[in-house]
Amino acid sequence: MTDFKIVVCMKVVPKPEEIRVDPETRRLERSQVRSEFNPPDMNALEMALRLKDLYNARVIILSMGPAFFEPYLRIGLAMGADEAFLLSDRRFAGADTLATTYTLAKGIEKLGHPDLIICGEESSDGATGQVPPGLAEWLGIPQITLVTDIEMDLEQRVVRGRREVRGGHEMLEVPTPAVISVKTASNEPRFMDYEIKDKAFKQTKIGVWSCEDIEADEGYIGVPGSPTIVTGFEQATIRERKREFLPGARDEVVRRLLESIQDYL
Amino acid sequence: MVASLYGVEDEQKAIWVFLEQMEGEVERVSLEILSKGRQLADEAGWSLVGLLLGHQVSDQAERMVAYGADEVWLAVHPLLEYFTVDAYAHVVEQAMLKGRPSVFLCGATPNGRDLAGRLAVRLRTGLNADCTDLRLNPENGMLTSEVTGFGGGVLALLESPHHRPQMSTVRPGVFPMGEEDPNREGHVHEMEFELAEGMIHTKLIQRVVGEGVDLTQTPVLVCGGRGIEGKFDMLQEFAHLMNGEVGATRPPVDEGHIERERQVGQTGVVCRPKVAFACGISGAFHFVVGIQDADIVVAINSDPNAPIFEYTDFCIVDDALQFVPALIEAIQMDRATAND
Ligand SMILES: Cc1cc2nc3c(=O)[nH]c(=O)nc-3n(C[C@H](O)[C@H](O)[C@H](O)COP(=O)(O)OP(=O)(O)OC[C@H]3O[C@@H](n4cnc5c(N)ncnc54)[C@H](O)[C@@H]3O)c2cc1C
Ligand SMILES: Nc1ncnc2c1ncn2[C@@H]1O[C@H](COP(=O)(O)O)[C@@H](O)[C@H]1O
C-alpha cells in the first residue's frame, strides 16, 4: 500500500420525488421519505476507486449526518472503499454550508493528511456545490471543481483536472493536497463487490465521531455555526397549462398545431 | 456563535455585484443581476456597486454604469486576466473588507460558485446558492433569497440576519437584463490591492472554449428526451426552421448524444422561450422546471398517460420520430407556397 490517501465526502439524501411541504406548518414532510446516497457522490467514490485501482490508494469515506447513514456507508465499503467515518452528534444538526464545511474539515484533519479530498458536484436536497470550495478554504488548500477527469502526478505532487466551463473546458493543475468536485454522471459507478460485501456489512467497523472526537469548537458547528436561517418553505407551483389534446390524424394534428402556436411566435 | 469578519454595525448600505468576465466581455448573468440590483437599490435607497476584475477590461467599466451601477470598483492586473479562484478570492476579499457591503451577489456559474464558496468561509458569513429570486426589505436591510430544492419541487426562503455580507449566487436567466442607458452617471474607482504570483496555486494549462450556446435567450426551444433515441439531427432541422435552439433532458446528455450545455432543467439551464417543444420526454419535475417560464408548451409523446401532459398546453399523442418529420415537411411546404 502506498501512502496515497483519498477522502471521499458522501452524503445521504431523501429521494427528491418523495418530499412534500406541509401546507399548514410550511415544514418539510420527510418522515415517510426513503433515502439514497446523493447520486453525484457515487461519481466521486468511483473516481477515488479508479485511483485506488491505479495507485493502490487508500480510500476513506467521510460523512456528516445522523446514525441512519451508517448502512449506506457500508454500500461504499462494499464497492471497494477501505474505511468509513461518520461525524454524528446531535449538536451537528441544523448546519448550513459554513458549519458543514467546518465540521467536515475538522474530520479530515483528524484523519491525518489526505492527498485528495473528492466530493460530488452538489447535493440533490438543495445545497448547490458550495461545500467543496468551502472545505478547501477551511483547509487552506487549492480546489478544482466540476472535473470530468483527473490525472495524478505522485512524484511532482500535483493533480490535473479537466473542468467544465461555459462553452468548453479547461485543464487546471494544482499541488496536492487539494479538493476535487466531480461533474455529475461523468463516470459509471461500479456495483458492490460480492466478495467483500459480507465483510463490509458484518465486520468492518465504521468510526463514529462526535464533536469532541474531532476537537470542533461548539460555536462553529450546527445551529450556532450557521449564519443562514430558513424562514419558510413552499411547495413550488408549476403554472397551469391548457392541457388541450389535439385530435385527428397526424396531418390534421400538424395543421392544428401550426395554427395554435402561430399567435405565440 | 460564529461571527463574520465585519458585522451589521459596520456595513455600508450597498449592494455589490461581482461582474464576471470572460476574455474581456462581461457575462450576461452579471448584467441580469445588475438590473435586479438596481431595482432593489432604488427601493431601499441604497447604492449599487459593480466589482470588475481583469486585465484589459477598463472599457467595460463605463458600460457597467450604463447598465445601472452607481460605482464600479475596478481591479486591473495581468494575473487577473483569466479567472483563478486563488487570485480572484484574494482581490475580492480585499475589496469587501474595504467597502463592507451589506449585500454581495454573483452569478451561479462555475466560477461564480467557486469564488462565492471560498469567500463565504473566509468572511465567515452565510451563502445562499443558486437563487431564483431576491427581496430586500427597505426597513431592516434584510435580504431574502428564494432557492429551489429537491429537484425543483420545493421553494425555501433564506436569510442571514446577523452576518455580513449577505451573500447569494443567482441562477442565470432568472432576471431579465436591463437596457443600456448611456446617459446614466456613475463613478469608476480604480482599486489598489496586493497580488503576487506566489499567492496563486492554480495553473491554467489549457482552455478550449468554443462559441457556446445560450439557451436562456432562444425564442423557440426544441427539447428531446430519451424517446427520440438520439435523433437530434431531426430536432436540429426543426429548430433551425423555427429560428430556435435544441435542448435535451439528462439521459441523452449522459449517453453522449448531445452536449451537456444543452441540458434543460434543475441541473441544466432554465429557459423562458415563447414556445417550448418536448419530444419524447416523460415530464420529470427535474426537467419541467427548466421550461416552466415558457409562454406555451407543446409535448409529443406516444404514451397518453405521460406526466409531461400535465405541464403542456398542446398535447400530441404520437410517435415523435414520425410526427416531427411530418411537421418539418408541412412547414417547408407552407414556405414554398408562400414564396411562389
Ligand atoms: C439530482 C438530479 C438532477 C436531475 N436534473 C435533471 C435536469 O436538469 N434535466 C433533466 O432533464 N433531467 C434531470 N434529472 C433526471 C430526471 O429525473 C429524469 O430522469 C429525466 O428528465 C428523464 O428524461 P426523459 O424524459 O428524456 O426520459 P424518460 O423518463 O425515459 O422518458 C422518455 C419518454 O419518451 C416517451 N417515448 C418513447 N418513445 C417515444 C417516441 N417514439 N415518440 C414519442 N415519445 C416517446 C416515453 O413514453 C417516455 O415518456 C435529474 C435527476 C436527478 C436525480
Ligand atoms: N453532510 C455531508 N457529509 C459529507 N459530504 C457532504 C455533506 N454535505 C455535502 N457533502 C459533499 O459536498 C458535495 C457538494 O454538496 P453541496 O455543496 O451541499 O451541494 C456533495 O456532493 C458531497 O460530496
> Could you please report the per-residue DSSP string of chain A?
--S-EEEEE--EEE-GGG-EE-TTT--EE-TT--EEE-HHHHHHHHHHHHHHHHH--EEEEEEES-GGGHHHHHHHHHHT-SEEEEE--GGGTT--HHHHHHHHHHHHHHT---SEEEEES--TTS--S-HHHHHHHHHT--EEEEEEEEEEETTTTEEEEEEEETTEEEEEEEESSEEEEEPTTSS-PPPP-HHHHHHHHHTPPPEEE-TTTTT--GGGSTTTT---EEEEEEEPPPPP---EEPPSSHHHHHHHHHHHHHTT-
As a whole number of angstroms, the distance between CA B19 and CA A167 comes to 18
B249 interfacial to chain A (CB closer than 8 Å): no
- Structural domain of B281: 215-339
Contacts A240 to B, Cβ<8 Å: none
With beta carbons less than 8 A apart as the criterion, state whether A187 and A47 touch. yes
Which ligand sits nearest to residue B267's alpha carbon?
1
A28 interfacial to chain B (CB closer than 8 Å): yes
Ligand 2 atom 14: residue of nearest CA: A122
As a whole number of angstroms, the distance between CA B40 and CA B29 comes to 17
B327 interfacial to chain A (CB closer than 8 Å): yes
Predicted confidence (pLDDT) at residue B122 exceeds the cutoff of 80: yes
A14 interfacial to chain B (CB closer than 8 Å): yes
**Which amino acids bring their CB within 6 angstroms of ligand 2?**
A 9-11, 38, 40-41, 44, 63-65, 100, 104, 119-120, 122-123, 127-132
Confidence at residue A2, expressed as pLDDT on a 0 to 100 scale:
62
Cβ within 8 Å of residue A140, ≥6 positions away: none
Name the 3-class secondary structure at B248. Answer: strand
- Answer yes or no: do B232 and B189 share one domain: no
Confidence at residue B151, expressed as pLDDT on a 0 to 100 scale:
66
- Residues 29-88 (A) with a CB less than 8 A from some CB of B: none
- For the domain that residue B274 is a member of, what is the CATH number? 3.40.50.1220
Angle at which helices B232-241 and B320-339 cross, to 10°: 30
- Answer yes or no: do B122 and B182 share one domain: yes
Confidence of residue B128 (pLDDT cuts 50, 70, 90): very high
Interchain contact, A254 vs B116, CB within 8 Å = no
Confidence at residue B139, expressed as pLDDT on a 0 to 100 scale:
94
Element (H, E) at B257: none
Name the 3-class secondary structure at B165. Answer: coil
Q: Please compute, for residue A76, the number of CA atoms within 13 A of its CA located in the half-sphere on the CB side.
A: 37
- For the domain that residue B74 is a member of, what is the CATH number? 3.40.50.620
Give percent of chain B with pLDDT exceeding 90.
84
Confidence of residue B102 (pLDDT cuts 50, 70, 90): very high
B102 interfacial to chain A (CB closer than 8 Å): no
CA of A31 to the centre of ligand 1 (A): 27
- The residues spanned by each domain of chain A are 5-220
Report the atom number in ligand 1 closest to the C-alpha of B308: 49
Confidence at residue B149, expressed as pLDDT on a 0 to 100 scale:
76
- Answer yes or no: do B144 and B27 share one domain: yes
- Answer yes or no: do B220 and B194 share one domain: no
| Best residue in A17, A146, A218, A241 for a mutation probing chain B (most B CBs within 10 Å) | A241
Angle at which helices B85-99 and B110-123 cross, to 10°: 50
DSSP character for B309?
G
Contacts A261 to B, Cβ<8 Å: 275, 296, 298, 314
| Best residue in B114, B143, B317, B329 for a mutation probing chain A (most A CBs within 10 Å) | B114
Work out the minimum CA distance from B151 to partner chain A, whole angstroms: 6
> If you average pLDDT over residues B250-259, what whole number do you get?
91
Q: Which of B166, B199, B232 is the last residue of a domain?
A: B199
- Answer yes or no: do B333 and B279 share one domain: yes
Alpha-helical segments (H) within B28-178: 28-44, 58-66, 85-99, 110-123
Interchain contact, A134 vs B260, CB within 8 Å = no
DSSP character for B192?
P
Contacts B116 to A, Cβ<8 Å: 130, 133
- E strand map for chain B: 12-19, 21-22, 25-26, 47-54, 71-76, 101-107, 127-136, 143-149, 154-159, 166-170, 187-190, 203-209, 220-224, 245-248, 275-279, 296-301, 314-317
Confidence of residue B269 (pLDDT cuts 50, 70, 90): confident
Provide the number of structural domains found in chain B.
2
Confidence at residue B229, expressed as pLDDT on a 0 to 100 scale:
96
Specify which residues B72 forms β-bridges with: B50, B188
* Residue whose C-alpha cell reads 398535447 in the numeric block: B315
As a whole number of angstroms, the distance between CA B144 and CA B260 comes to 31
- Answer yes or no: do B170 and B296 share one domain: no
Q: Which residue has the higher pLDDT, B304 or B268?
A: B304
* pLDDT per position as a tens digit, B202-239: 999 998 887 778 898 899 999 999 999 999 999 999 99
Q: Which residue has the higher pLDDT, B37 or B208?
A: B37
Confidence of residue B126 (pLDDT cuts 50, 70, 90): very high
- Answer yes or no: do B174 and B221 share one domain: no
- Answer yes or no: do B142 and B225 share one domain: no
> If you average pLDDT over residues B75-96, what whole number do you get?
97
As a whole number of angstroms, the distance between CA B305 and CA A29 comes to 27
Parallel, antiparallel or unpaired: strands B47-54 and A229-235: unpaired
With beta carbons less than 8 A apart as the criterion, state whether A215 and A88 touch. no
Work out the minimum CA distance from B296 to partner chain A, whole angstroms: 7
CA distances from B330 to A220, B190, B335, B340 (A): 64, 58, 9, 16
Interchain contact, B150 vs A99, CB within 8 Å = no
Confidence at residue B227, expressed as pLDDT on a 0 to 100 scale:
97
Mutate to test the pocket of ligand 1, among A12, A124, A182 (most ligand atoms within 8 A of CB): A124
Contacts A224 to B, Cβ<8 Å: 1-2
For the ranges A176-180, A235-239, B196-200, B317-321, the lowest mean pLDDT is seen at A235-239
Name the 3-class secondary structure at B157. Answer: strand
CA distances from B188 to B11, B51, B164 (A): 21, 10, 24
With beta carbons less than 8 A apart as the criterion, state whether A62 and A77 touch. no
Task: Assess if residue B206 is contained within a domain.
Answer: no
- Residues 302-321 (B) with a CB less than 8 A from some CB of A: 309-318
As a whole number of angstroms, the distance between CA B279 and CA B299 comes to 6
> If you average pLDDT over residues B118-134, what whole number do you get?
96
Predicted confidence (pLDDT) at residue B309 exceeds the cutoff of 70: yes
Interchain contact, B315 vs A245, CB within 8 Å = yes
Return left, alpha or beta for A160; rule: phi > 0 is left, psi -120 to 50 is alpha, else beta. beta
> If you average pLDDT over residues B128-149, what whole number do you get?
93
Nearest in space to A244 (alpha carbons), one of B311, B340, B293, B212: B311
CA distances from B308 to A18, B249, B305, B312 (A): 18, 12, 8, 7
Question: Which pTM does this prediction carry?
Answer: 0.90
- Answer yes or no: do B162 and B220 share one domain: no
Which ligand sits nearest to residue A105's alpha carbon?
2
In angstroms and rounded to an integer, the radius of gyration of the C-alpha atoms of chain A is 22
Q: What are phi and psi of A169, to 5 degrees?
A: -150, 165
Return left, alpha or beta for B270; rule: phi > 0 is left, psi -120 to 50 is alpha, else beta. beta
Ligand 2 atom 4: residue of nearest CA: A63
Task: Assess if residue B56 is contained within a domain.
Answer: yes
**Which amino acids bring their CB within 6 angstroms of ligand 1?**
A 39, 124; B 225-227, 249-251, 263-268, 280-282, 284, 286-287, 300-303, 306, 319-321
Interchain contact, A228 vs B110, CB within 8 Å = no
Interchain contact, A172 vs B202, CB within 8 Å = yes
> If you average pLDDT over residues B285-296, what whole number do you get?
90
Specify which residues A229 forms β-bridges with: B159
- Answer yes or no: do B308 and B222 share one domain: yes
* Residue whose C-alpha cell reads 434584510 in the numeric block: B142
- Answer yes or no: do B49 and B193 share one domain: yes
CATH of A5-220, one of 3.50.50.60, 2.30.110.10, 3.30.70.890, 3.40.50.620: 3.40.50.620
- Answer yes or no: do B236 and B187 share one domain: no
Which ligand sits nearest to residue B226's alpha carbon?
1
Per residue of chain A (265 residues), what is the pLDDT tens digit?
Answer: 468 999 999 999 988 777 777 777 777 777 778 899 999 999 999 999 999 999 999 999 999 999 999 999 999 999 999 999 999 999 999 999 999 999 999 999 999 989 999 999 999 877 789 999 999 999 999 999 999 999 999 999 999 999 988 778 899 999 999 999 999 888 999 999 988 888 888 888 899 999 999 999 999 999 999 999 999 887 777 788 999 999 999 999 999 999 999 888 8
Mutate to test the pocket of ligand 1, among B234, B235, B266 (most ligand atoms within 8 A of CB): B266
DSSP character for B318?
S
Predicted confidence (pLDDT) at residue B247 exceeds the cutoff of 80: yes
For the ranges B41-45, B67-71, B206-210, the lowest mean pLDDT is seen at B206-210
Mean pLDDT value across chain B: 94
Name the 3-class secondary structure at B104. Answer: strand
Confidence at residue A233, expressed as pLDDT on a 0 to 100 scale:
83
ipTM of the complex, rounded to two decimals: 0.89
Interchain contact, B330 vs A142, CB within 8 Å = no
- Residues 25-84 (B) with a CB less than 8 A from some CB of A: none
